[in-house]
Amino acid sequence: MHRFKEVLDNRHEYAKNWKARTGGKVLGYFEPYTPEEVIYAASALPVRLLSRHEPDDMTDRNIYASCACARDIVNQVALGRFDYVDGITYAEACQWMRHAFISSQYFQSFSYTCDIFVPDYVDGHRSKDVMYSEMKAFKKSLEEWTSNTITDEALDHAIDVYNTNRRLMRQIYELRRADNPIVSGAEAMEMVLASQVMDKEDHNRMLQEVLKELPRRSHAGYPGPRLMLVGSPTSDANLERLVEELGAVVVIDELCTGSCYFWNEVIPQEDRLLALSLRYLGKPHCALKDNNWRRRPAHILQLYEDFNAQGVIIAKQIYCHPHGTDNPHIWKILRERIYPFHFLERDTTVPEREMKTRLEAFINLVEPVRVKLRG
């Protein structure tokens, strides 16, 4: 299990070794609407640029008052941490990430940059055509950049590898529906984060090994109040670890770096690019894309009930406008169902003692409810 955290902690080394091993290019991406299968089919490695939450004294001069995630990615680029990244692409979602995409180009010259327009109304009747034309343009630009032709066979292989990864991650998450789940929230989050910085075939192999090992695990699982994590994207499992040190267990999340990243598969069809367009438009909505037909609240409630959660932690990055504007609606649906929740804000660094006290109080609040329910 620890291998996923090792890769995550040493993700730059992993990518550099991959380049040395394959001679391929690394394409960095900022948002989960990036059609990775097309990049993979071009024999390039898609790597999500994840923040490291390191305080810095530089970014505020370049990316005014944005969220910690976006600021820190620019800081990592400026520090040369992504020097192995040959190109970057931004699939339209959050404006702070757009800032990070643009500002990163002041600190590092990339041989390829691509801006993919993803409709905000992902369910709109025109969105399929827009995404499809963007997908075709993206494919063409990647073929020119890599000098590799992206064939239907290469797309089929990429779709198969990615769907296998999604299916294996769903298997891991299914294990968390059990009482005293055998996989902790921190472990599951490190697995899905590692998948966003690794070659999916390597990640699939590791997942298959772990799924064989898990039934032989010595300990009896993770007891305690069952909590759900909702909110802004995260790039580590520190919050899950803190919650689980306090005696609770995180059984499910609705994060764009978590379950939302792999929840739905590509449904193969003759036109591969159309199949991919529908998959990315159809993924669980992030707060920014949940406009016309509100799907996110129902999805959150479905996960809460399916994973038998007993409380929700809503963790928002400071200055995170998408979740800031959506939270009141999420609070309302949770209140209507009398589902306990705790709202907290995070910045680059987390005041651990204060966070611990607040989380402990919330967990103590949920515990009696849980005991009474178990009766």
Exposed / middle / buried, residue 325 (Cβ in 10 Å: 0-12, 13-18, 19+): exposed
Does position 67 interact with ligand SF4 (CB under 6 A)? The reply is: yes
C-alpha distances (whole Å) from 243 to each of 2, 177, 207, 232, 316 are 19, 18, 24, 17, 16
Which residues between 92 and 121 bind ligand SF4 (CB under 6 A)? 94, 96-97
Does position 322 interact with ligand SF4 (CB under 6 A)? The reply is: yes
Looking at 63, 70, 228, 312, which residue binds ligand SF4 (CB under 6 A)? 70
Residue 195: both structure tokens together: 């998948």
- Write down how long the chain is: 375
Candidate ranges 65-73, 122-130, 133-141, 346-354; the one touching ligand SF4 (CB under 6 A): 65-73
Q: Report the C-alpha gap between 196 and 293 in whole angstroms.
A: 28
Residue 154: both structure tokens together: 């290469």
Q: Which is nearer to ligand SF4, 181 or 322 (CB)?
A: 322
Candidate ranges 3-11, 64-72, 329-337, 360-368; the one touching ligand SF4 (CB under 6 A): 64-72
Looking at 59, 146, 317, 327, which residue binds ligand SF4 (CB under 6 A)? 317
Dihedral of CA atoms 353, 359, 362, 367 in degrees, nearest 10, equals -110
Does position 229 interact with ligand SF4 (CB under 6 A)? The reply is: no
Q: Which is nearer to ligand SF4, 123 or 345 (CB)?
A: 345
Q: Report the C-alpha gap between 44 and 107 in whole angstroms.
A: 22
Name the packing angle between helices 127-146 and 272-281 (round to 10°): 120
Q: Which is nearer to ligand SF4, 96 or 304 (CB)?
A: 96
Candidate ranges 89-97, 177-185, 199-207, 218-226; the one touching ligand SF4 (CB under 6 A): 89-97
* Minimal distance, residue 156 CB to ligand SF4, in Å: 32
Does position 141 interact with ligand SF4 (CB under 6 A)? The reply is: no
Q: Which is nearer to ligand SF4, 67 or 116 (CB)?
A: 67
Q: Which is nearer to ligand SF4, 90 or 362 (CB)?
A: 90
Q: Report the C-alpha gap between 351 and 349 in whole angstroms.
A: 7
C-alpha distances (whole Å) from 169 to each of 172, 207, 252, 364 are 5, 8, 12, 31
Exposed / middle / buried, residue 367 (Cβ in 10 Å: 0-12, 13-18, 19+): middle
Alpha helices in the chain (DSSP H): 2-9, 11-22, 36-41, 68-78, 95-107, 127-146, 152-174, 185-195, 200-213, 238-245, 259-262, 272-281, 296-306, 321-336, 352-374
Does position 69 interact with ligand SF4 (CB under 6 A)? The reply is: yes
Does position 285 interact with ligand SF4 (CB under 6 A)? The reply is: no
Number of residues engaging ligand SF4 in binding (CB under 6 A): 13
Looking at 85, 323, 340, 350, which residue binds ligand SF4 (CB under 6 A)? 323
Q: Which is nearer to ligand SF4, 48 or 226 (CB)?
A: 48
Per-residue contact track with ligand SF4, 179 to 218, x per CB under 6 A? ----------------------------------------
Q: Report the C-alpha gap between 288 and 325 in whole angstroms.
A: 9
Are 90 and 29 within 8 A, CB to CB? yes
Does position 261 interact with ligand SF4 (CB under 6 A)? The reply is: no
* Minimal distance, residue 73 CB to ligand SF4, in Å: 9
Q: Which is nearer to ligand SF4, 11 or 48 (CB)?
A: 48
Does position 320 interact with ligand SF4 (CB under 6 A)? The reply is: yes
Encode 92-124: b = buried (16+ Cβ within 10 Å), e = exposed.
Answer: bbbebbbbbbebbeebeebebbbebebbeebbe
Candidate ranges 50-58, 80-88, 161-169, 317-325; the one touching ligand SF4 (CB under 6 A): 317-325
Alpha helices in 43-94 (DSSP H): 68-78
Does position 48 interact with ligand SF4 (CB under 6 A)? The reply is: no
Binding-site ranges for ligand SF4 (CB under 6 A)? 67, 69-70, 94, 96-97, 232-233, 317, 320-323
